[in-house]
């Protein structure tokens, strides 16, 4: 009961009090259920985002592996192009000068270099090697195994160092595939 200024009271029936109480309870219950549903939705969204991130990471790793395998295959096939008479750095350079457009197009290379273990460029075609690439070469050339890295400046490229024998001496083939090459199309 509520008091009016003239001394009169307003009578609120039990039915209306019960209706207000039920509405309050339903509002609280709806808020709790809505909060629970919102939390479930956020958990499901996080799960889906994590799943998608894992799939993208797996696809990227597969793309990188395929690109490195592609580069290893290219290195082996390029080594077969060097005949016995060209088994010198100058013969290798002559082969690159003669066949570079075909090599570049077929294996989608931006550059190819034959390097000694000391870092001296013996034969080269394509873009020149800069000091950052030489530093990377010197840091990984101590192990005679393939190495690769992805370099992103204005565009991303994959660089691969592949061990190669020339006149029975170990060398490295330094190859770079740009975004228009195999790596960019996967």
Query: pLDDT at residue 31 above 90?
Result: yes
Q: Tokens 């975004």 sit at which residue? A: 179
HSE at residue 147, side-chain half, CA atoms within 13 A, is 14
Distance of alpha carbon 26 from alpha carbon 34, whole angstroms: 12
Distance of alpha carbon 111 from alpha carbon 96, whole angstroms: 11
Of the candidates 93, 98, 96, the one whose C-alpha atom is nearest the C-alpha of residue 120 is 93
Name the pLDDT band for 183 (thresholds 50, 70, 90). Answer: very low
Q: Tokens 């290219």 sit at which residue? A: 74
pLDDT at 184 (0 to 100): 44
Q: Is the pTM of this model over 0.75?
A: no
Please enumerate in sequence order all residues whose Cβ is within 8 A of that of 109, keeping only pairs 6 or more positions apart, or say none: 74, 103, 126, 175, 176, 177, 181
Name the pLDDT band for 51 (thresholds 50, 70, 90). Answer: very high
């Amino acid at each position: 009961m509520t008091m009016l200024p003239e001394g009169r009271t307003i009578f609120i029936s039990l039915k209306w009090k019960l209706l207000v109480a039920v509405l309050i309870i339903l509002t609280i219950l709806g808020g709790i259920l809505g909060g629970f549903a919102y939390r479930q939705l956020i958990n499901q969204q996080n799960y889906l985002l994590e799943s998608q991130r894992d799939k993208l990471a797996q696809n990227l790793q597969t793309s990188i592996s395929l690109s490195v395998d592609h580069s290893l295959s290219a290195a082996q096939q390029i080594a077969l192009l060097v005949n016995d008479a060209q088994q010198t750095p100058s013969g290798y350079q002559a082969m690159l000068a003669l066949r570079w457009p075909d090599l570049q197009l077929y294996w989608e290379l931006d550059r190819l270099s034959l390097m000694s273990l000391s870092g001296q460029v013996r034969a080269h075609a394509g873009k020149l090697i800069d000091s950052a690439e030489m530093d990377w070469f010197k840091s990984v050339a101590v192990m005679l195994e393939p190495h690769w890295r992805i370099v992103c400046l204005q565009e991303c490229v994959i660089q691969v160092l592949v061990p190669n024998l020339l006149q029975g001496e170990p060398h490295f083939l330094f190859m770079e595939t740009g975004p228009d090459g195999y790596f960019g199309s996967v």
